[in-house]
Amino acid sequence: MDYLIIGFASYLMGSIPFGLILTKIFLNKDIREIGSGNIGATNALRTGNKLIGYSTLILDIVKAVIPVIFVKINYPDLIYVASLCSFLGHVFPIWLKFKGGKGVATYVGILFSINFLLGIIFAASWGIIFLIFRYSSLSSIIGSISIPIYILITEQINNAIFFSIMFILIFFTHRENIKRLKNKEESKTKIY
């Protein structure tokens, strides 16, 4: 029963579409009609309003941190259930006919909540790739694969399956970006 309650609550928390809510309230716009049409932080930056973009980023991180930290303290055996369900909530929100974001900010919240070092490794990998290439999508893909690689190198085999699944999911959510990168059609991202 705990699995169902924690999974459902984490999914609902993860499914709150902050990018859509903030652009509707403060810009009177629908983020799904801007840029890539995605509800996440990268597309929120494309509104031209940096405050909206960074607020979306922070809130998309926090909506994973809250359920994962709660479960880590109270039901540690279910931490991966909460993590996966909050991520799936963001990517497939029930409120938006299961068409959500790419899940990267939510994944960052999961990483920092499970193990602060994993969050640092992701952020460092993301930052290095972004400084070199200026593609948020490429940075996210490389950052997400850096986690299972690190785990395998440090022989934390019990965690490798979960983080490999998370990489596959992030790779899947970026499939259109990968096509554009391959065809040299991907837009570079300005974060400042």
Q: What is the pLDDT of residues 112-145, one digit of tens each?
A: 999 999 999 999 999 999 999 999 999 999 999 9
Report d(CA 64, CA 105) in Å as an integer: 9
Overall residue count recorded for the chain in this entry:
192
Report d(CA 5, CA 164) in Å as an integer: 25
Q: What is the pLDDT of residue 187?
A: 85
Mean pLDDT in residue range 30-50: 88
Q: What is the pLDDT of residue 54?
A: 95
Q: Is 189's pLDDT higher than 90?
A: no
CB 113 within 8 A of CB 72: yes
Beta-sheet strands, E only, within the chain: none
**Per-residue tokens: 92:** 């497939």
Nearest to 104 by CA among 42, 48, 155, 12: 42
Q: What is the pLDDT of residue 159?
A: 86
Mean pLDDT in residue range 83-98: 96
Q: Is 28's pLDDT higher than 90?
A: yes
Q: What is the pLDDT of residue 116?
A: 96
What's the mean pLDDT when you consider all of the chain? Answer: 94
Q: How many CA atoms lie within 13 A of 34 on its CB side?
A: 21
Model-level pTM greater than 0.85? Answer: yes
Predicted confidence band of residue 192 (pLDDT cuts 50, 70, 90): low
- Sole residue written with tokens 């909460």: 82
Q: Is 156's pLDDT higher than 80?
A: no
Nearest to 51 by CA among 59, 134, 137: 59
Report in angstroms the alpha-carbon separations of 13 from 21, 75, 97, 163, 171.
14, 17, 16, 21, 23
Mean pLDDT in residue range 70-77: 97
